[in-house]
Amino acid sequence: MAGAAHCSLQAKRLLLDPKFEGYKLSLEPLACYQLGLDAAVAEVKLRDEQYTLDHMRAFGMYNYLHLDSWYQDNVYYVDQFGRIMNLSVTLDTALQKPREVFRLPTDLTAYDNRLCASIHFPSSTWVTLSDGTGRLYLIKSDKRGNGASEKWEIVFNEELGTPFIIAHSVSFLKSDTHSVAVLLLRVENDELDTKGSGFHITLEWVTIAEVSKEGEHGYEIFKRRVLQGKSVPHYAAIEPTGDGLMIVSSKPFKFTQDEDDKSEENDDVKATTEKKDPLYYWQQTEDDLTVTVHMPEDITKDDIKVRFSPDNICVILKDQPPLMEGKLYSSVDHESCTWIIKENKSLEISLIKKNEGPRWPELIIGDTKGEFIMDSSQCSEISENLMHLTSEVMNPNPEKEKPPCNAQELEECDAFLEDSASLCRFDGDTLKVTHVINLGSNQYLFSVVVDPREMPCFCLRHDVDALLWQPHSDQPENMWEHIATFNALGYVQASKQDKKFMACAPDYSYAALCECLRRVFIYRQPAPLSTVLYNRKEGRQVGQVAKQLVATLESNDPILGFQATNERLFVLTTKTLFLIKVNSGN
């Protein structure tokens, strides 16, 4: 990740509520409807050899209920007979039983080592499907959720090796050719891992493209790329154009390469590890920067071309490729910038900072050909600033106003083991990481599709809140946008020891989580009150209240699936599909 741009997530202050007072338990009744299933859900339990935490996260906690975000209140699941069952809701009081829209050609009972079947909807007319045995299907569908007239037609299917589940898929046009990119997740044996779990995670990025042969149209695999890591990703999604990939994981992923690629990479590594002298040196003060370039003896003043602009610099010596070129870390007063040739035949460039004070961590963004030189006074200043952080004794001044952090004061719900999680963006052509964000203690909570034409959003814990982020692959300056906040949800969800799934409405009107059995918790956004309410302690009138609601399902079967729409929650158990009416339609 040496060449990756290190970024950060910028929360919008207007979407944060520092005065949020908490959720008030509401006893208002929730309409709950239940539909008995003709056949049980095709649940696949973990086998004895699938004993690791990664197996549990990938397959044991799998969401068997699939939401079709292209059509409102449209869900699917696979039953034990290999039938794809659909429920499309228009009116709660006129619910019909789930109906079959497709049947897997494979006899699932004949496979002992299969995984759960998985479905994804890359567009309004395309479906990607895995039967859990290692076979991938690409299916053309009519308008889905359209009653008995819905028809699914297989246009491509192929055996792709060991069993997998579909993590994500997208449909796109490139050069007038239709393609579908699919992300396949596997947990595989790792014979080289003798000290760890003995398994590694692979994400295979498969691109299927339309081809024409002898006047017939069909689909073939165009490209296969594999990433490998040591933890199941919390989030993995392909960009809508198929040009990149974003992954949130607690341990890093990297592309595996064939022998030719490895030899090329080794040559690159050798070239970069060979010690090279810097092409230039630079220093800085609070007001300006000084760049020194050692020039060959045959260079004269007429051979030097230096171009200044407020945000860029370019230095060329004697019609050679630019010695220095690129965007400066910050703006300069380009009309005051100068350059001279010193007596020792070196070129000295003076840059005047536009904003005095802040120190620059680099001169030219992404450029590694120079070396920063810090003078002794700057070293002394930094040393003094850091002195209070070091001591020969533990807690040398306990009476100080801000004593050291006491871990015993932390509550159990503040603990988060995976504090090294990162968000990485991979380029599909170079297979390199282009952007990376260290998430630190910003715990991943869940993902949701707000707009099916965009990448899925992901929700992270920030302090006690839960912040929803929308990736924008086509906006490099604003690649991750903060679009919604669920107040105190980060803290609340941490107290639910038996939590299994989390979700939120695509319009952000509520968030919800369910336990492994029976109970569902709903957290509404703050809403104005129809009556006058006063805070007893402070005596002031309360304008808005955020409500918590609790629903208890009439079933002792484990919850296998959980999806949220703007109006309803869908909860799937082994033999029943529950609908909870959360919001009334507009």
| 495-521 tens-digit pLDDT | 998 999 999 999 999 999 999 999 999
pLDDT at 72: 86
**In this structure, which long-range contacts are made by residues 497-500, counting pairs with CB atoms below 8 Å and at least 24 apart in sequence?**
500/61, 500/559, 500/562
At which residue do the structure tokens 């790329």 appear? Answer: 225
CA distances from 417 to 104, 146, 198, 294, 420 (A): 40, 45, 21, 50, 9
Q: How many CA atoms lie within 13 A of 172 on its CB side?
A: 18
Confidence of residue 157 (pLDDT cuts 50, 70, 90): very high
Pairwise pLDDT comparison (344 vs 233), residue with the higher score:
233
Q: How many CB atoms lie within 10 A of CB 577?
A: 23
At which residue do the structure tokens 């699941």 appear? Answer: 77
* Residues written for the chain: 586
pLDDT at 402: 52
Q: What would the two tokens of residue 196 be?
A: 């760890």
Q: What would the two tokens of residue 324 be?
A: 């220095």
Average pLDDT (385-400) is: 59
Query: How does pLDDT run across 30-56, given as a tens digit for each residue?
Result: 999 999 999 999 999 999 998 899 999
Which of 40, 39, 43, 74 has its CA nearest to residue 60? 43
Q: What is the amino acid identity at position 119? A: I
pLDDT at 330: 87
State the Cα–Cα distance between residues 219 and 248, nearest whole angstrom: 31
pLDDT at 360: 85
The C-alpha angle 308, 309, 315, rounded to 5 degrees, equals 30
Mean pLDDT, all residues of the chain: 86
CB neighbour list of residue 379: distance below 8 Å, 6 or more residues apart: none
Confidence of residue 418 (pLDDT cuts 50, 70, 90): very low
The alpha-helical segments, DSSP class H, found in 334-444 are 376-386
pLDDT at 392: 56
pLDDT at 527: 86
Among 190-199, 487-496, 529-538, which range has the highest average pLDDT?
Answer: 487-496
Among 119-128, 230-239, 270-279, name the one with the lowest average pLDDT. 270-279
Among 107-116, 202-211, 286-295, 330-339, which range has the highest average pLDDT?
Answer: 202-211
pLDDT at 582: 94
Average pLDDT (147-156) is: 82
CA distances from 432 to 256, 326, 425, 436 (A): 11, 21, 8, 11
Share of the chain above pLDDT 90, in %: 54
pLDDT at 259: 44
Predicted structure pTM score? 0.74
- Chain centroid to Cα 149, Å, comes to 37
pLDDT at 423: 95
State the Cα–Cα distance between residues 552 and 520, nearest whole angstrom: 6
Confidence of residue 575 (pLDDT cuts 50, 70, 90): very high
Among 138-142, 336-340, 366-370, name the one with the lowest average pLDDT. 366-370
State the Cα–Cα distance between residues 75 and 61, nearest whole angstrom: 18
Which three-class secondary structure state does DSSP give residue 202? strand
CB neighbour list of residue 18: distance below 8 Å, 6 or more residues apart: none
State the Cα–Cα distance between residues 219 and 145, nearest whole angstrom: 25
Set out the domains of the chain in order of their start, with CATH numbers.
Answer: 40-257+417-440 (no CATH), 280-368 (2.60.40.790)
pLDDT at 273: 47
Confidence of residue 544 (pLDDT cuts 50, 70, 90): confident
Among 67-76, 323-332, 533-542, name the one with the lowest average pLDDT. 533-542
pLDDT at 249: 95
Pairwise pLDDT comparison (557 vs 107), residue with the higher score:
557
Query: How does pLDDT run across 179-224, given as a tens digit for each residue?
Result: 999 999 999 998 887 778 889 999 999 999 999 877 788 999 999 9
Average pLDDT (263-269) is: 53
At which residue do the structure tokens 């973990």 appear? Answer: 46
